[in-house]
A and B are shown apart, each in its own frame.
Chain A
């Protein structure tokens, strides 16, 4: 079966850097997504990794190691508006997207 693990909660200070880890075990692999979801809203796309390495996009970066079944989302220069749930999701060989339980990030002033 599918198994995606990420921490339940994290707290960081405004202006700091935070790394949210995600490990996965899935039936095949066609890419890993990171989504941001504010309470009561639909998820919004942050990043997509299908090859090993680091993808940088502004304050957000995402890393993937397929051999280790591991990814992380790096958020720099944290802002209060970054307080949200961050969802790791894997696109498996059946072309289905399986979500992790999400990491609730709280940014403190």
Chain B
């Protein structure tokens, strides 16, 4: 199946700093990528939909100025957590579909576990 790579897998940062997470589709082009957040023992919650060449669409309650998304190419989307705080500590997962969001299988990155001290 298609491969989505996410980096870094683990990151620890100090409160107030910014962290960038990359999501790459390795063997297909993805005009749309999705960013999820998962707290312990909870399901995945969609944060935003990343659209290549245009602004991301954020879900209700997700601060767009805090979670900056850039989808500069057809194979790369980045999520930057700005001025991170301990409550931002979570498992962040990206996903993409070769079908471009028109249905069909969705492939996930390996996830990035963020710990903010």
Q: Which residue numbers of A lie inside 8 Å of B, CB to CB?
A: 30-31, 33, 35, 40-45, 48, 50, 87, 91, 95-102
Contact of B93 among A33, A42, A95, A102 (CB under 8 A): A42
Stretch at the interface among B11-19, B66-74, B80-88, B103-111: B103-111
CB of B90, distance to nearest CB on chain A (Å): 13
Q: Is the CB of A101 within 8 A of B106?
A: no
Which of chain A's residues have a CB closer than 8 A to the CB of B107? Answer: 45
Which of chain B's residues have a CB closer than 8 A to the CB of A44? Answer: 108
- A sample of 10 cross-chain residue pairs with beta-carbon separation below 8 angstroms, ordered by A number, consists of A33-B105, A33-B106, A40-B113, A87-B43, A95-B102, A95-B103, A96-B46, A99-B43, A99-B45, A102-B43
Q: Is the CB of A96 within 8 A of B104?
A: no
Contact of A45 among B34, B49, B101, B105 (CB under 8 A): B105
B42 contacts chain A at the CB level, 8 A cutoff: yes
Q: Which of A31, A95, A102 gathers the greatest number of chain B CB atoms within 10 Å?
A: A95
Bound form: Cα–Cα A51–B42 in Å: 28
Which of chain A's residues have a CB closer than 8 A to the CB of B62? Answer: none
In the complex, residue of chain A having the shortest beta-carbon distance to the beta carbon of B94: A42
**Consensus secondary structure, chain A interface:** loop
Q: Is the CB of A91 within 8 A of B111?
A: no
Give the bracket for the number of chain B residues in contact with chain A: 20 to 34
Q: Is the CB of A45 within 8 A of B106?
A: yes
Bound form: Cα–Cα A34–B108 in Å: 13
Which of chain A's residues have a CB closer than 8 A to the CB of B106? Answer: 33, 45, 97
Q: Is the CB of A43 within 8 A of B103?
A: no
Q: Is the CB of A50 within 8 A of B103?
A: yes
Which of chain A's residues have a CB closer than 8 A to the CB of B102? Answer: 95
Which of chain A's residues have a CB closer than 8 A to the CB of B95? Answer: 97
Q: Is the CB of A87 within 8 A of B44?
A: yes
Contact of B101 among A42, A43, A48, A95 (CB under 8 A): A95
Which of chain A's residues have a CB closer than 8 A to the CB of B6? Answer: 42
Bound form: Cα–Cα A95–B106 in Å: 11
As a 0/1 sequence over residues 25 to 43 of chain B, the CB contacts with chain A under 8 angstroms (1 = contact) are 0000000001000000011
B1 contacts chain A at the CB level, 8 A cutoff: yes
